[in-house]
Amino acid sequence: MDWGIRNRLSRILRPDDGRTVMLAADHGYFLGPTHRLEEPRGTLTPLLPFADALMVARGLVRNCVEPSAQVPLVLRVSGGASVVGADLANETVITAMDDAVRLNASAVALSVFIGSEYEHQTLANLGRLVDRGIDCGMPVLAVTAVGKELEKRDARYLALCCRIAAELGAHFVKTYFCDGFEEVVAGCPVPVVIAGGPKSGTERDALATAYKAMQQGAAGVDMGRNVWQSDHPVPMIRALRSIVHDGATDDEAFAIFTRLKQSGHLQPV
């Protein structure tokens, strides 16, 4: 792997433990003004000091993130479909690699929709993006997306998706946690991070998912709604950090969450 790609990846996956807490906030590229991300600057600014990387699309970077922010960017570069359109899987690359370089991105991210009508198109997008990434020293994150078909998220399917993404050259992969997740990680030769998915349960549930994923080989989390849709987003991301970087259990992390929530979250963990 080229020095530039390794250098950029080391900004995202911490060199001391190879792990990362990414903050996902790219939802607007197909969902519009998602609940609690209607005003992204206000939502994201307090969270940035606790994120190892921020995953966003370029419009949000330029309008809602200070150029002086010290958070590495993972730039969402695929899109072209929306939640009210015909098919979420009908994506193409919508941001040039030159613009990712201009924004000083540390990686670019693209979704693949394997098993969908747009499988070939989105996998071809990935291949071309990896070629451009190699040209520019830019790592590529492949997101194994399922669109509205959330029931697809089982180990056999996700293992297939992650392996294909890695075989096509993705430098790291984002997928969902599932029963048998260790199978997904075992079959994938590059680091795997997990998305949080819709915020359906409690903070404790999301921390338990993160803990199980780390125990089963994840390289970290790339969570959005389970952080910024929480009533206590800063305690939540700090609790996630304790699991990913400090080896806390989910119970210990939940105790940290509770303590920070009660103390106004400024005390050291």
Point out the residues that are catalytic.
Answer: 174
For ligand R5P, which stretch binds (CB under 6 A), given 19-27, 67-75, 114-122, 239-247? 19-27
> Does 203 sit near ligand R5P (CB under 6 A)?
no
Residue appearing with tokens 């330029």: 62
The Cβ of residue 133 has, within 10 Å, a number of other Cβ atoms equal to: 25
> Does 210 sit near ligand R5P (CB under 6 A)?
no
For ligand R5P, which stretch binds (CB under 6 A), given 131-139, 185-193, 222-230, 238-246? 222-230
> Does 145 sit near ligand R5P (CB under 6 A)?
yes
For ligand R5P, which stretch binds (CB under 6 A), given 79-87, 157-165, 195-203, 252-260? 195-203
Torsion angles phi and psi, residue 249, rounded to 5 = -80, 170
Residue appearing with tokens 């780390």: 214
Q: Select from 26, 52, 91, 250 the one that contacts ligand R5P (CB under 6 A).
A: 26
> Does 20 sit near ligand R5P (CB under 6 A)?
no
Residue appearing with tokens 């197909």: 30
> Percent helix, strand, coil in the chain (nearest 5)?
45, 15, 40
Shortest reach from residue 26's CB to ligand R5P, in Å: 4
By the 8 A CB rule, do 174 and 149 touch?
A: no
> Does 224 sit near ligand R5P (CB under 6 A)?
yes
Residue appearing with tokens 């809602």: 64
> Does 56 sit near ligand R5P (CB under 6 A)?
no
> Does 147 sit near ligand R5P (CB under 6 A)?
no
Q: Select from 223, 234, 243, 256 the one that contacts ligand R5P (CB under 6 A).
A: 223
Instruction: Name the DSSP class of 68.
Output: T
Per-residue contact track with ligand R5P, 70 to 109, x per CB under 6 A? ----------------------------------------
The Cβ of residue 149 has, within 10 Å, a number of other Cβ atoms equal to: 13
Residue 260: CB partners within 8 Å, gap ≥ 6? 232, 234, 235, 238, 239, 267, 269
> Does 239 sit near ligand R5P (CB under 6 A)?
no
- Give me 198's structure tokens: 């819709």
For ligand R5P, which stretch binds (CB under 6 A), given 118-126, 190-198, 244-252, 260-268? 190-198
> Does 193 sit near ligand R5P (CB under 6 A)?
no
> Does 222 sit near ligand R5P (CB under 6 A)?
yes
> Does 234 sit near ligand R5P (CB under 6 A)?
no
Give the integer Cα–Cα distance in Å for 181 and 248: 20
* Residue 115: closest CA among 89, 80, 85, 86: 89
Give the integer Cα–Cα distance in Å for 152 and 44: 30
Q: What is the Cβ-side half-sphere exposure of residue 152, based on CA atoms within 13 angstroms?
A: 17
> Does 58 sit near ligand R5P (CB under 6 A)?
no
Shortest reach from residue 210's CB to ligand R5P, in Å: 11
What residues line the site for ligand R5P (CB under 6 A)? 24, 26-27, 55, 111, 143, 145, 195-197, 222-226
